[in-house]
Structure 1
């Protein structure tokens, strides 16, 4: 074996090792499964601080919660990967217990939106706007993301707005289209597009594209100029009650089959 052949074999081995390392880093970044669940986060917060969670929202790798304790509201931020509480601050607002008692629950708002066939619920957040309690509901429908504002006491829909999907080319002539952003996201995770929205920023803006894969869902943040994937966030908030009901029905059928066998 010549020196050149040995050198080539060493070079190929090194390239294979580097390729394997890059693939591992990509998988570790894009498809981490070590984030704590919403239920685990809620239980941890309630055990630490007591009270009840009024609203819950996840953005990127941060859980945002509003907690009611002793007739006071607190805002809390938690790291979605480690479960570490990053910030807790009192809103300074004392809760009107009579008004709170008349508020519709998140489950009631979810049932209301489902009955209207508005689309797939992505998140529901209770907010105080001009001393009025209202729910902000984000829904994906026909690859668009809608924001619906619902009166927290009456359930009346106050407004409905489709978030912007495409960037304005006048701001940046080399900006990529929403269709290109969808292609980039699908190249990272095979599945169907839930929604795509465009967000302006000082560095050229970015797209948020949610892909519903076979085994998981993820939201890709894609730079609107370079097309680079800036972040990938697993999505556990979308409405999957139907699948849960199907699982329950399947378990019930299995139990019935076992009872029949025993008979």
Structure 2
């Protein structure tokens, strides 16, 4: 009977030690943020593998690891060091790392940059296989280059979208001129200068006078009114 009690007690002690080890394995509390260096050491110590790359995206560390000729991608929470996912990467027959598929690349881009994905294509970036994506975000187009093997963002370039300048139509210019000087339109011409473009609308008044109304071709502002008696 005593022997059974000793075995049971040993089992409980071992279970307690395992729980304690699991708690210690977390290294930090759930409310405490860890640095990139700490994330690197945490994964290295836990899995005894070679850390190839560490990248932080929002509050998640994306970690590439090699162990026993196999490659793994690990997602680690910045808050507390929790393992969010652990995936083994497939290898091609000749031992080279398999490229990520387009859906995986799109997922990485969505995490990296919010906005509408306009286009995405395969390319070579500094002798590396990569994907180049164009994302529309607010008034800017953002070009993102992603490593096709690791998912690392290699470059990011934002270019402000220029709204094309549109001139008023002749009819719009005439309506503005008549609102300013009622009468009968005799002629309209479009003039372009170094300082800008404008319409010149000639209006014949009921009293025989003629007004030349100068209207800014883009804003519609009446720039001047001159009279020809």
TM-score range, shorter chain: 0.3 to 0.5
Higher RCO (CA-CA < 8 Å; seq separation 6+): 1
**Higher helix fraction (1 or 2):** 1
Rg bigger for which structure? 2
TM-score for the superposition, normalised by structure 1: 0.29
TM-score for the superposition, normalised by structure 2: 0.32
